[in-house]
Amino acid sequence: MSPIVLAALLTLSCTGASVNELPPVADLPEQEALPDPFTMMDGTPVTTAEDWREKRRPELVQLFQHYMYGFAPEAESEFREDAPEAEAFDGTARVKQIEIRIKGLPEDAPRIHLAVIVPNTPGPHPVMLGIKRVGNHATCGAEALLQREDAYIPEASRKDGASERGGRSDFWCVEYILSRGYAFATFLESDVDPDENDFTNGIHPWYPDLPYPKDAQWATIRAWAWGFRRCVDYLVTDPDIDAGKIGVIGHSRRGKTALLAAALDERIALAVPHQSGTGGCAISRASEQETVERINRVFPHWFNGNFKQFNDNEARLPFDQHLLIALVAPRALLDTEGKQDAWANNPASLRALGAADPVWKLLGAPGIEGPARVEDVNDIQPGKVGNLLQLRLDTKHDLTRDYWVGILNFADAVYGR
């Protein structure tokens, strides 16, 4: 190892990682095996829960941002009502619509339009917060949900009817979620950043002077995770919501986002990265499905500039996705996967769960208890599962009601409901 790299690593371990001192990718050691959760970058062993919380966790938070997702700005959220509270579903629920702005940004800066649908029963309620590519009005038939004509919706979603009112009812199953006593909250990804290889739109141009090297700055998935954080800023203030029971979910590229959001924001109690694949729960090394090179080539805006240097070079990653999962510990994570969805690589995600599990154990929390994977939602019962599990159902790349049954069984189990 060159003296420069060694000096950088030593600085990293002493300071808790100043990003400008992290080694260039070419100087990172090659490791074919999965990086050990319990070895710091400079080789120092991690042996106690305190070591994890105070040293290894902060180091990994820095590494994932620097080399993969990018660093996002700190922000203070401000809330206004988008519309007065209204009843829905024959008075069994209430709809709240909140506009989230960022303090200090100009009037015409992007803002997030968060919809929160709460069961009309005594609360506070646990909540599932989902990111999606269509407007809030598409998630269910609640008439009160605003349909915003100025929202950016991708062409494909306009064509397949998904962006119509209630067009994604079978996907989000909002009435079912409410019937289980959970609130449902949701926002549109393009309120933060349209899913395009273009950083001149969305939130990015409003932060022209971030104090990070250009290649370490936030890309689209990091921006969406920042959007989750802004929504959590609101949810923890809402008396109808149980602030200790906030779950996040997204499908596929948004599953990657939900995982990242939960990894970085410890107010999130439950992560459900649905069919999240590469850049989500699936291990990047030796992928037989979507490789780092492929995802960077086809979706260059999802990850930062540094991550491109790991194309065909995954062995130099100082982490793998098991360590992103581990950042959720000791909280709960359900990795939901489709048996017919080979591209999302559920075997590689199962491997990641197994490699992350020791972190739950170090923190004295139930990680994988019993089988790591179940294929029957009825196997998810209190006392039968811990805080870490894969649920694999016989579906393609989609979200269906059966998944919601499993997700809410899992949430009930981890919350002790």
Residues marked as catalytic: 252, 397
Cis check: omega of the bond before 330, within 30 degrees of 0: yes
Residue 94 and residue 117 in contact, taking contact as beta carbons nearer than 8 Å = yes
All residues at 6 or more sequence positions from 394 whose CB lies less than 8 Å from its CB, including other chains: 338, 339, 340, 375
- 417/413 Cα distance (integer angstroms): 6
- 370/390 Cα distance (integer angstroms): 12
Residue 275 and residue 257 in contact, taking contact as beta carbons nearer than 8 Å = no
253-264 and 220-235 helices cross at what angle (nearest 10)?
60
Contact positions vs ligand GTR (CB under 6 A):
252-253, 277-278, 290, 295
To which H or E segment does residue 262 belong? helix 253-264
Q: Is 30 helix (H, G, I), strand (E, B) or coil?
A: coil
Name the residue nearer to ligand GTR (CB basis): 183 or 225: 225
User: Which residue in this structure is represented by tokens 């991690």?
Assistant: 46
Determine phi and psi for 234, rounding to 5 degrees.
-75, -50
Min dist CB 277 to ligand GTR, Å, is 5
Name the residue nearer to ligand GTR (CB basis): 97 or 252: 252
Min dist CB 231 to ligand GTR, Å, is 20
Name the residue nearer to ligand GTR (CB basis): 139 or 252: 252
Closest residue (Cβ) to ligand GTR?
252
Name the residue nearer to ligand GTR (CB basis): 243 or 342: 342
Min dist CB 171 to ligand GTR, Å, is 12
Min dist CB 252 to ligand GTR, Å, is 3
- 386/369 Cα distance (integer angstroms): 5
Name the residue nearer to ligand GTR (CB basis): 178 or 295: 295
Min dist CB 221 to ligand GTR, Å, is 9
The one-letter code for the residue type at 346 is N
